[in-house]
Amino acid sequence: MPAFSAEVEEKRRAARAHADAIQERLGEEAFLDWFDRLYADAAQDEAPERIPWADLAPHPLLTEWLQKHAPHQGKALEVGCGLGDNAAALSDAGYAVTAFDLSAHAVEWAKKRFPDKPIDWHVANLLEPPQAWRGQFDIVHETYTLQSLPPGLRRQAFAPLAGFLKPGGRLLLICRIRPEEVTPEGPPWPLAPSELAELERLGFVRETLRPVILKSTRAIPHVFCIYRRPAAEETEKR
């Protein structure tokens, strides 16, 4: 994985400090509003470098998976799409993409960045998603949204996330990981193995759990996971 340049690292450090300052002003009860405030603030000055996670490129692990497993077809859902690069990569690969984020400013910005892509953009909350999306998607992709939710809120996110897939569909998940015994001091809050296991408790089959170290100023443990919702006949056999 590429290391970021010192200049980019400096921008990301400044962005993190800026983001923390906004979060402190808001207080914890308004946690979910924090994202929209951050995007609104950066959009006003057209300054994506103020969004700490915005690489303005698809995640390299998603790109690698898309290249290795082509051709792609069917419906994909991009969760917490941010500025839209992963949604655009899924669309370019051949999926009919629906992408959503809690932040209206993020979705507006993503639309402007990718005006020619046939992506169905929405403002929606993963914790209370539209019913119409239940069981609709062949692929659900989520990078860094679960880890951006404090553990209490995150517990509420697994069931809706699992509910988006058709039988036989796959969830691609990229996140930071931590040892079970370490208490995370987020944001972000890396996931523990027991949290990932929630998807298996919800009936999913884990196909891939690949530990990856991504390097910035330090080496950060991540995982790339793929979970499959069993096809109807598999569920009957169980």
101 binding ligand SAM? (CB under 6 A): yes
Rounded Cα gap, residues 150 and 152, in angstroms: 6
**Residue nearest ligand SAM, CB atom distance:** 80
Task: Provide the H-helix boundaries in the chain.
Answer: 6-26, 31-44, 60-68, 85-93, 104-113, 151-154, 158-163, 193-201, 232-237
Interacting residue with ligand SAM among 15, 102, 172, 199 (CB under 6 A):
102
Say how many residues touch ligand SAM, by CB under 6 A.
18
109-128: contacts with ligand SAM (CB under 6 A) = 125-127
Interacting residue with ligand SAM among 98, 140, 143, 225 (CB under 6 A):
143
Closest CA to 109 of 98, 97, 125, 121: 121
Stretches 98-106, 111-119, 221-229, 230-238: which one binds ligand SAM (CB under 6 A)? Answer: 98-106
- Provide DSSP, 152-200: HHHTTTHHHHHHTEEEEEEEEEEEEB--TTPPP-SSS-PBPHHHHHHHH
91 binding ligand SAM? (CB under 6 A): no
225 binding ligand SAM? (CB under 6 A): no
16-55: contacts with ligand SAM (CB under 6 A) = 32, 35, 53-54
For ligand SAM, give the closer residue by CB, 189 or 204. Answer: 189
Structure tokens at 28: 């914890």
3-class DSSP state for residue 227? strand
58 binding ligand SAM? (CB under 6 A): no
Rounded Cα gap, residues 150 and 179, in angstroms: 16
Binding site for ligand SAM (CB under 6 A): 32, 35, 53-54, 80, 82, 101-103, 106, 125-127, 143-145, 148-149
